[in-house]
Structure 1
Amino acid sequence: MSLALTESFADAHHEPRADRTTRALRWLRWRQLRNTMGALVADSRLRASMIVFCSAVFWAGLFLLFLGSFQFVASYIDLANTIVEYLFSMFFLSLLAMLLFSTGIIVYAALFHSREATYLLTTPASTDRIFAHKFAEAVGFSSWGFFLLGSPLLVAYGLSIKPPTAIGGGSGAPWAYYPLFLVYLAVFVLIPASLGAIVAIVVANIFPRREKSVLALATVSAIAAAAYVGVRLWTTPGEALTNDWLGSVLNRLAFCQHPLWPSRWMSAGLLASAKGEWSAAAYYLMILSSHAGLAYLAAAVLARDLYRRGYSRVQGGRSSRKRYGFLYMDAVFHRLFFYLPHPIRLLILKDLRTFLRDPTQWSQFLIFFGLLAFYFLNIPRLGYGAQSPYWRNLVSFLNLSVTALILSTFTSRFIFPLLSLEGRNFWTLGLLPLRRDQILWGKFAFSAGISLFSTEFLVVLSDLMLQMNPWMIVLHVGMIAVLCLGLSGISVGLGARLPNLRETDPSKIAAGFGGTFNLLVSLVFIFTIVTALAVPCHLYFVGQDNPEPARFILSRSGLRFWLTTAVLASLVVGAAATIIPLRIGIKAFNRMEF
């Protein structure tokens, strides 16, 4: 690929150098994309099918959720338009912040820590052209989730709206609204992406040795800002979902309506296009486009002047001095896990340090579970605790399922690649004064420890906010423990059976065949455990909620019998999901040649 790129730079000598560079980099990007898609279809059809299927299910679920939400909002006739406008502004403001973070991190890694950037800086390509090439790649990686989240929202709104120009009771936005909102999304993405690139270049030039500290400080600041907004919404006076309460909530969200926010231009333009007000829609689209172009121009000029200088500072600013920040944590860790052999504790501690030293890992873990905790704390404000036992039971199992699904994502993304990340140093594991099975048991203990600590807290918090019975809390605690042990065993065992020692990026390892297969097995395991325990509880509580006799209702004695059977079956399935993958992984690990 590098030889072909060099030849492309030498071709077409009659063209200006900038045009030749642009053509060569565009050709390179196209060939990389085509080869990646071809390899995906030819060699990883299971992964491709899973990606398409899961994306379609996720999109359809979001679409139905948003459609039902817009229908619910429509019941508040007086505030319907205002609510939608505020919701759109807050939604796009949140995505603006997330895209700023994600694109900034990806651009920083692509510009200053990738082999391709190192090679391109040695070619005749100008600095701004290299930046444009890596910037387009980063935007593609960071914005696909934005389109996956934004498109079902906007399609649902377009189908639920009733334009004032509709004749005869017709509903739905004009057909031109649907292709137009795709243009809005594409233009909107460039603003946070360009700002993120500017921040990445500035950090590389000013704080070449403190990029992780800057990221940690930015993450803490974002969490603090989100917590401040959440607390203000949580303490809104009045009864939830009443008109007075909604008015107070909108007053506290007035900051998202500031006329200088790009999210405000985005929401105003989309609402205008959905109503057929094309002049207003074009006006806001031109505002977005001009600011997107200006932001990218500023990023390109900054990259032209400071990229090479920042690259040199990042590469030359690495320090080899010892760090002592983890000494206190090490002492606490050894005291808490005193019952484990010392070598196993050292291996677990090594994995824990690796996890904590990578902000891209712990920040995602913190954000996902932090959002869940924030939602669980706000359950009383949503009125679920005052609902019937049937609805509280239903919501509790839904909360538990969401927690388990996020946990499966964590184990597939971070635990499954642990052995593969040893890479070229994999042979050192064979020289340790430990049996190989102890190495895997150590990684299992690391995964189960983190999982149990975080998920048990969330499940207990959810049940307390829902005012569940103590025996249901105990049932959910035991259920999540079985899920934690099973998911940890699946990820560690399959990670040892299907390692990828040639890849250093954990996200690519998790996206490979082994990672996809691991996620699929984890989802089947979660579905089996949750369904086995949720169905008897559902059939019992539906009878409590509806006094009229129904066909499928369990009595208290029937609930005891079927719930006991389900608990025993879940324990058997959980033990099998924990032990069988670990035995398969240990067997493969023992036979592996270093």
Structure 2
Amino acid sequence: MSLAIREPLSLPEAPAGGPESALRHLRWWQVRNILRGLAHGSRLRISMILICSAIFWAGLFGLFLGGFEFIGMYVDLVNTIIEYLFSLFFLSLLVMLLFSNGIIVYTTLFHSREAAYLLTTPAPADRVFAYKFAEAIAFSSWAFFLLGSPLLVAYGLTVKAPASFYLVFIPFLLCFVMIPGSLGAVAAIVVANVFPHRQRAVLVTAVAAILVVGGRMGFRLWQTPHDPLTADWLGGVLNRLAFCQNPLLPSRWMSAGLLAAARGDFRQAGYELMYLSANAGLSYLVAAVLARDLYRRGYSRVQGGRSSRRRRGLGHLDGALHRAFFFLPRPIRLLILKDLRTFLRDPAQWSQFLIFFGLLAFYFLNIPRLGYAVQSPYWRNLVSFLNLSVTALILSTFTSRFIFPLLSLEGRNFWVLGLLPLRREEILWGKFVFSAGISLPATEALIVLSDLMLRISPWMIALHVGMIAVLCLGLSGISVGLGARLPNLRETDPSKIAAGFGGTLNLLVSLVFIFAIVTALALPCHLYYAGQERADTASFVLSHAGLRRWLTVAITGSLVVGLIGTVLPLRIGIRAFKRMEF
């Protein structure tokens, strides 16, 4: 019997040329291997990724299209108001992209194993920077394209823009995203060289500055004269938002060029695009020059000279956590404390949590000034459920981004957890309590604040508080359970774990769960208040007694769905976690 001997695996030959060619060749082979892995992998995985992306894009497109059609009934969609809105929208994205890109580029350049290896090769520092920068910018900005493309397509269809508009906005998006990416890289290199061991202080200062500026803007809008939602009030708001029309801001070039392209004025659009692309190229050139001169020095400063100063200030937090979870065994409390300390020591996590929930709280505080609190009960009920839905959606992104990867990140260090006197299922319950313990107080406070600003009745506030509790527990159970069932033990970056198949599926299941809970309780309330608002024209009027009956059924069904959504994923995760070999 003869044995067939396979040919030895042949590796690709290194290309002839300098380090630049080698790095381009490496990137090409990485992309090629990823595509091959997707092509030969599970068809279910690829289908789920495509279906989830298509559903998300279509949902955003429908939302933007409906919004533009609604606004178009009152104002001209090519006038100054839309230009202000576009400028403000892209200015907000500019700030968020600058912040997120700075964090991701810093992690990619100074805490990446691949970067550590590449810096030992003869490749120049600026080439290594270009290689890692391309990876960071692609990873950190894909959500911008996913958010911006349905917005612009919906706007183009609403104003009946020419067909070439849909091709022109793509280079606009590409050039725009390069500016905050390059500026974030500049900030990362400067921080590494000037404050190599004070990243947390720098990040706290940046977050505080953003909140102060946002609070100042909100206070100015709060002081806008005249009655809300009137023509004089709108003029005052536009005057106070005139800063977003500054000709030196990239968001101004972006909005002016896109609106010109939508009108068919491609001469003006081309001028704005050239202006935007020239500044994008200049921003990257500044970042590359800084990387050439300071990248290696900054990397050495970040990696060396660790401070031996003992960290203090968490003793009170430890005591408060042990008192709050007194009913849990001490090993589980220690595990929760470990996760909490890891969360607080990672600025990339708590900074995003603080910014999103801080902006949401800022909006809720401004509800009386927007005039919602003096509207009819129908509109106040509608706005209250919309606010609750937005809070739940932000919570689902938080659990998918930070809670789902927890078990995957424990994979390589599981032997440490194995030394604790804990069963594996207790580890999962510890993750669940950690997630619920962080999300529940924050979301409950936001919902109560929103309802108080809207002057909602006490029984509706109690209903919303119960809903958000069910949502918090369910989303935590889904993220922890699916995180144990679909772990990625080879990846050390939580962002990439959350962006993979398991994270995408987790987000989709979370969205379905939110839709089921919110719809079940919002629908009878909406029908009741709609009938009270338009009793003579409403096709279906729900009486107060009927509302109580429907709410009783809806609350019972929501509790059952919430219990299933919490316990079932945890049981699936526990069963898979017990069989898992590390």
Name the TM-score, length of structure 1 as normaliser.
0.89
- Report whether the alignment pairs 1:275 with 2:268: no
- Report whether the alignment pairs 1:353 with 2:341: yes
Residue 104 (structure 2) aligned to one of 103, 106, 113: 106
- Report whether the alignment pairs 1:384 with 2:382: no
Contact residue 408 and residue 523 of structure 1 kept, 8 A: yes
Q: Which runs of structure 2 are paired with 1:505-520 in the superposition (5 Å)?
A: 505-520=493-508
Supply the distance in 2 between the matched residues of 1:354 and 1:221 (Cα, whole angstroms): 24
Equivalent residue number for residue 222 of structure 1: 210
Equivalent residue number for residue 252 of structure 2: 264
Residue 550 (structure 2) aligned to one of 518, 543, 562: 562
- Report whether the alignment pairs 1:290 with 2:278: yes
- Report whether the alignment pairs 1:344 with 2:344: no
Contact residue 460 and residue 477 of structure 1 kept, 8 A: yes
Q: Could you tell me the percent identity over the aligned residues?
A: 73
How far residue 80 of structure 1 moved from its aligned partner, in angstroms, is 6.3
Supply the distance in 2 between the matched residues of 1:524 and 1:437 (Cα, whole angstroms): 26
How far residue 521 of structure 1 moved from its aligned partner, in angstroms, is 3.0
Equivalent residue number for residue 51 of structure 2: 53
Q: Give the 3 Å change call, closer, same or farther, for CA 184–521 of structure 1 in structure 2.
A: closer
How far residue 199 of structure 1 moved from its aligned partner, in angstroms, is 1.3
Supply the distance in 2 between the matched residues of 1:63 and 1:72 (Cα, whole angstroms): 14
Equivalent residue number for residue 136 of structure 1: 134
How far residue 59 of structure 1 moved from its aligned partner, in angstroms, is 3.2
Q: Which runs of structure 2 are paired with 1:423-572 in the superposition (5 Å)?
A: 423-548=411-536, 552-572=540-560
How far residue 350 of structure 1 moved from its aligned partner, in angstroms, is 0.9
Supply the distance in 1 between the matched residues of 2:80 and 2:74 (Cα, whole angstroms): 10
Q: Which runs of structure 2 are paired with 1:29-68 in the superposition (5 Å)?
A: 29-68=27-66
Residue 27 (structure 1) aligned to one of 25, 34, 56: 25
Supply the distance in 2 between the matched residues of 1:262 and 1:511 (Cα, whole angstroms): 28
Q: Give the 3 Å change call, closer, same or farther, for CA 572–149 of structure 1 in structure 2.
A: closer
How far residue 4 of structure 1 moved from its aligned partner, in angstroms, is 5.7
CA deviation vs aligned residue, 1:60-85 (integer Å, no higher than 9, x gap): 34334444444555566699622122
Supply the distance in 2 between the matched residues of 1:150 and 1:249 (Cα, whole angstroms): 25
Residue 196 (structure 1) aligned to one of 184, 198, 210: 184
- Structure 1 residue ranges without an equivalent (≥5): 162-171
Contact residue 532 and residue 541 of structure 2 kept, 8 A: no
Supply the distance in 2 between the matched residues of 1:54 and 1:137 (Cα, whole angstroms): 23
Residue 231 (structure 2) aligned to one of 208, 226, 243: 243
CA deviation vs aligned residue, 1:174-202 (integer Å, no higher than 9, x gap): 33333222222222222222211111111
How far residue 351 of structure 1 moved from its aligned partner, in angstroms, is 0.8
CA deviation vs aligned residue, 1:511-542 (integer Å, no higher than 9, x gap): 34433333333333222222222222233222
How far residue 46 of structure 1 moved from its aligned partner, in angstroms, is 4.1
CA deviation vs aligned residue, 1:538-566 (integer Å, no higher than 9, x gap): 33222212213755433222222221122
Paired residue total: 573
Supply the distance in 1 between the matched residues of 2:203 and 2:545 (Cα, whole angstroms): 55
Equivalent residue number for residue 120 of structure 2: 122
CA deviation vs aligned residue, 1:126-169 (integer Å, no higher than 9, x gap): 222222111222221222222222223333333344xxxxxxxx
- Structure 2 residue ranges without an equivalent (≥5): 1-9
Q: Give the 3 Å change call, closer, same or farther, for CA 40–233 of structure 1 in structure 2.
A: farther
CA deviation vs aligned residue, 1:264-283 (integer Å, no higher than 9, x gap): 22222333333333433333
Amino acid aligned to 1:136: A
Q: Give the 3 Å change call, closer, same or farther, for CA 285–514 of structure 1 in structure 2.
A: closer
Supply the distance in 2 between the matched residues of 1:116 and 1:78 (Cα, whole angstroms): 52
CA deviation vs aligned residue, 1:68-110 (integer Å, no higher than 9, x gap): 4445555666996221222222222222222222222222222
Q: Which runs of structure 2 are paired with 1:150-161 in the superposition (5 Å)?
A: 150-161=148-159
Equivalent residue number for residue 182 of structure 1: 170
CA deviation vs aligned residue, 1:475-500 (integer Å, no higher than 9, x gap): 11112112222222222233333333
Supply the distance in 1 between the matched residues of 2:535 and 2:360 (Cα, whole angstroms): 34
Equivalent residue number for residue 146 of structure 1: 144
CA deviation vs aligned residue, 1:28-47 (integer Å, no higher than 9, x gap): 22222232233234435444
Supply the distance in 1 between the matched residues of 2:349 and 2:192 (Cα, whole angstroms): 21
How far residue 244 of structure 1 moved from its aligned partner, in angstroms, is 0.9
Contact residue 74 and residue 80 of structure 1 kept, 8 A: no
CA deviation vs aligned residue, 1:443-475 (integer Å, no higher than 9, x gap): 222111112101111111222222222111111
How far residue 361 of structure 1 moved from its aligned partner, in angstroms, is 0.9
Supply the distance in 2 between the matched residues of 1:503 and 1:229 (Cα, whole angstroms): 41
Q: Give the 3 Å change call, closer, same or farther, for CA 309–79 of structure 1 in structure 2.
A: same
Amino acid aligned to 1:216: V
Supply the distance in 1 between the matched residues of 2:509 and 2:271 (Cα, whole angstroms): 50
Deviation larger for 382-391 or 286-295: 382-391
Supply the distance in 1 between the matched residues of 2:278 and 2:139 (Cα, whole angstroms): 23
Amino acid aligned to 1:264: R
Q: Look up the SS of the partner of 2:491 in the other structure.
A: coil
Equivalent residue number for residue 5 of structure 2: none
Contact residue 49 and residue 501 of structure 2 kept, 8 A: no
Supply the distance in 2 between the matched residues of 1:220 and 1:152 (Cα, whole angstroms): 32
Q: Look up the SS of the partner of 1:423 in the other structure.
A: coil
CA deviation vs aligned residue, 1:291-316 (integer Å, no higher than 9, x gap): 22222222111111111111111121
Q: Look up the SS of the partner of 1:424 in the other structure.
A: coil
Q: Give the 3 Å change call, closer, same or farther, for CA 577–367 of structure 1 in structure 2.
A: same
Q: Look up the SS of the partner of 2:413 in the other structure.
A: helix
Q: Look up the SS of the partner of 1:319 in the other structure.
A: coil
Equivalent residue number for residue 4 of structure 2: none
Contact residue 78 and residue 259 of structure 2 kept, 8 A: no
Question: How much is the aligned-residue C-alpha RMSD, in angstroms?
Answer: 2.6
Contact residue 540 and residue 555 of structure 1 kept, 8 A: yes
Q: Give the 3 Å change call, closer, same or farther, for CA 331–184 of structure 1 in structure 2.
A: same
Residue 212 (structure 1) aligned to one of 200, 211, 215: 200
CA deviation vs aligned residue, 1:315-358 (integer Å, no higher than 9, x gap): 21333543113122223323333343332222111111111111
- Report whether the alignment pairs 1:90 with 2:78: no
Supply the distance in 2 between the matched residues of 1:103 and 1:546 (Cα, whole angstroms): 49
Supply the distance in 1 between the matched residues of 2:108 and 2:210 (Cα, whole angstroms): 23
How far residue 359 of structure 1 moved from its aligned partner, in angstroms, is 1.0
Supply the distance in 2 between the matched residues of 1:513 and 1:299 (Cα, whole angstroms): 33
Name the TM-score, length of structure 2 as normaliser.
0.91
Q: Look up the SS of the partner of 2:128 in the other structure.
A: helix
Equivalent residue number for residue 222 of structure 2: 234
Amino acid aligned to 2:287: A
Supply the distance in 2 between the matched residues of 1:49 and 1:228 (Cα, whole angstroms): 46
Contact residue 423 and residue 503 of structure 1 kept, 8 A: no
Deviation larger for 87-96 or 269-278: 269-278
How far residue 222 of structure 1 moved from its aligned partner, in angstroms, is 1.4
Deviation larger for 380-389 or 401-410: 380-389
Supply the distance in 2 between the matched residues of 1:409 and 1:329 (Cα, whole angstroms): 26
- Report whether the alignment pairs 1:402 with 2:390: yes
Residue 327 (structure 1) aligned to one of 315, 329, 334: 315
Q: Give the 3 Å change call, closer, same or farther, for CA 512–44 of structure 1 in structure 2.
A: farther
